[in-house]
Amino acid sequence: MGELRQRGRIWWMRYYRNGQRFEESARTTKYEEARDQLRRKEGQIADGVPVSPKTGRLRFEDAMASVLNDYVINGRKRHDHAKRRIDLHLTPYFAGRRLTRITTDQIAAFTADRLKAGASAAEVNRELAIIKRAYSLATKASRIHSRPYVAMLAEHNTRKGFLEPSQFAAVKAICRRRFNRCSSLGI
């Protein structure tokens, strides 16, 4: 069972999880709002959600650092590309915000702004994928509990210039003459 205390005009919540005491500000001067926040916290604890005062305070910049760190740990070759996208496009738009305060509408507005700036759908999708990865990593680390929906764009960059059967036969013949076999090339 938690309790509420007033320090000056601000109400503070005290609650327990796994025998450990946590205390944080309710950031309100109204008792009813503080009581409702405390009840939500206690409900989350009862549901098994990891709750602490630091939960939900993850900043966008810290989440992007986690993504870049993930790229290094997993040996992804596109680390430089991701860093460039974060520095040029994502950080200027979302800098200083808490990850829990970024909404689906704000992400949609970012997408619209990038498209107006002349970015292709594929480019915007790569940036949105970085945002999605940041939320996935933060959720796995129990630093946030929910994430917004990130709508990906349809990409219309289909390949052009497929070979006709006669052209394919010519390429296959050249491969056989040059390499004496085509199995290593998948032909």
In the chain the domains, ranked by start, together with CATH numbers, are 3-46 (no CATH), 60-140 (1.10.150), 161-187 (no CATH)
Query: What proportion of the chain, given as a percentage, has pLDDT over 90?
Result: 49
pLDDT score recorded for residue 41: 81
Q: Are 63 and 99 a contacting pair, CB within 8 Å?
A: yes
Contacts for 21 with CB less than 8 Å, ≥ 6 apart: 14, 15
d(CA 167, CA 82): 39
Q: Are 148 and 102 a contacting pair, CB within 8 Å?
A: yes
Question: How many CB atoms sit inside 10 A of residue 60's CB?
Answer: 21
For the chain, give the mean pLDDT.
86
What residues does 4 pair with on adjacent strands? 13
User: What's the half-sphere exposure (Cβ side, CA atoms, 13 Å) at 178?
Assistant: 10
Number of H-type helices and E-type strands within the chain:
7, 3
pLDDT score recorded for residue 54: 60
Question: How many CB atoms sit inside 10 A of residue 134's CB?
Answer: 27
pLDDT score recorded for residue 182: 54
- The residue type found at 3 is E
Buried b (16+ CB within 10 A) or exposed e, 34-55: bbebbeebbebbeeeeebeeeb
Query: What proportion of the chain, given as a percentage, has pLDDT over 70?
Result: 89
Which among 62, 67, 48 has a CA at the least distance from the CA of 95? Answer: 62
Which among 45, 42, 148 has a CA at the least distance from the CA of 99? Answer: 148
Contacts for 70 with CB less than 8 Å, ≥ 6 apart: 76, 133, 137
Range of lowest pLDDT (29-33, 56-60, 84-88, 148-152) = 56-60
